[in-house]
Chain A
Amino acid sequence: MTQMTYIGAIGAAQREALTADERVVVIGEDVEANVYGTTGASRQRAEEGDFVQMFGKNRVRNTPISEEVIAGAAIGAAMTGLRPIVDLSYSSFLYLAMDQFVNQAAKSRYMFGGQASIPVVFRSAMFYSLNAGAHHADRPYPMFMNVPGLKVITPASPADAKGLLLSAVESDDPVLCFEAVPLWGTKEEVSEEEYRIPFGVARTVREGGDVTIVAISGSVMDAVAAADELAEEGISAEVIDPRTLVPLDSEAIVKSVEKTGRLVIAEPAHRTCGAAAEISAIVAEEAIHALRGPILRVTAPDMQIPFSPVLESLLYPTKEKILDAVRRVCGEAPQEKRSGEPKAYADAKDAPQ
């Protein structure tokens, strides 16, 4: 085990993938110079040099600044036997390659009757809450959830980033990996061994019985902070990180809501048709009998992202906004709880709203 940052874990996963399988290549703008910090040696291995020194220019290749060309070349390379990892840098730049993602990557396996597979990973980072302006701050993963044929993953911790990325490289379907830049500096103990985290298996970050908080990407750390604060008030919150949005572990979410009877969903994307909307619908369809209050979404509003640090910081889910939502859900519907009403719940009902 070793201390790794989120961005360091991504670099470690790429290095392991390149080492394990010679069909794996890394392409993207300025990957040779390790501009993004994911195609170089870690501090512990500085003497080994960057990926270009380790694996050669044949497997680590700069591209022109043309997202459609990058994505299209990677899809073609994947069809003909390579397993590319594509660094598209900013998630906002995915739009430039929309036709390649939606019409080619997502549809080719189906349209060619399974004769071609598309084992390609498209990585991109969401530069939100960093005053990067409206052209860089998008969190567009829900758009791609709406495209059948694309897998969508949103790692929220260093250990998950490494394990999910290795699974992505081994998937024969196109995978879009959305990385949250506010998480880049988060650190935890990560195994230096190769390990894989399967897609479609949610992670229960905190166990609890009073309310389920499903949190996505950068909102996981806020949800955990909220759960810790709620625990001191006597409200036991379960925090679930789906880890992968396509495929989605709806079973884990439904089971948790059946246990707690309450659901709050937090994510940094916009509200309309976000991942939270989809999760709300699934729970409404499959677990309405268990719900003891409304399902609440804590998301960014349907607004452009301002450049101003002061204004931008008001838009995303925070620990405080998640706490408010949980208190609202727990203050609803004074029904008898199956496990007996927690003291804080009784107090909350009498508290001024």
Chain B
Amino acid sequence: MRTEVLLPQWGMGMSEGTVVGWLKKVGDEVTEDEPLAEIEAEKVTETLEAPETGKLVEILVEAGETAKVRTVLAIIESE
């Protein structure tokens, strides 16, 4: 099963976020709720957590790039 990792809208005023850095790389096993990336939004820097347990198979938004809320940032492949 492929799970899309979306950029959450953490606050009502949040329209986009910048990936400060990925804490996991493609090929890494991740557990649900495990920190995946640091995201800088308008007001805060937040930790993005894995929505699913599995393998991180794709990173679509690289560190330093900015994306709108609800953009697919990465893909997790699980059993």
Partners in one complex: yes
* With known contacts A5-B42, A7-B43, A37-B43, A185–B16 Cβ distance under 8 A: yes
Contacts of A185 in B (CB 8 A): 15-16, 41-42
Q: Which chain A residues (260-304) contact chain B, with CB distance < 8 Å?
A: none
- What DSSP secondary structure best describes chain B's contact surface? loop
Q: Which chain A residues (180-205) contact chain B, with CB distance < 8 Å?
A: 181-182, 184-185
The answer to whether A171 has its CB under 8 Å from any CB of chain B is no
Q: How many residues of B contact A (CB 8 A)?
A: 10
A130 near B14: Cβ-Cβ < 8 Å: yes
Contacts of A184 in B (CB 8 A): 13, 15, 42-43
What's the nearest-Cβ distance from chain A to residue B65, in Å? 14
Closest to B12 in A: A132
> Count the A-B residue pairs with Cβ separation under 8 angstroms: how many?
29
What's the nearest-Cβ distance from chain A to residue B79, in Å? 31
Interface string of B25-55 (1 = CB under 8 A from A): 0000000000000000111000000000000
Give Cα A309–Cα B70 distance, bound, in whole angstroms.
10
Interface string of B1-17 (1 = CB under 8 A from A): 00000000100111110
- Our pick among B13, B41, B43 for the contact of A130 (Cβ within 8 Å) is B13
A127 near B42: Cβ-Cβ < 8 Å: no
Q: Which chain A residues (112-149) contact chain B, with CB distance < 8 Å?
A: 125, 127, 129-132, 136
Q: A184-B15, A184-B43 are in contact. List 4 more A-B contacts (CB 8 A).
A: A7-B43, A132-B12, A181-B13, A309-B70
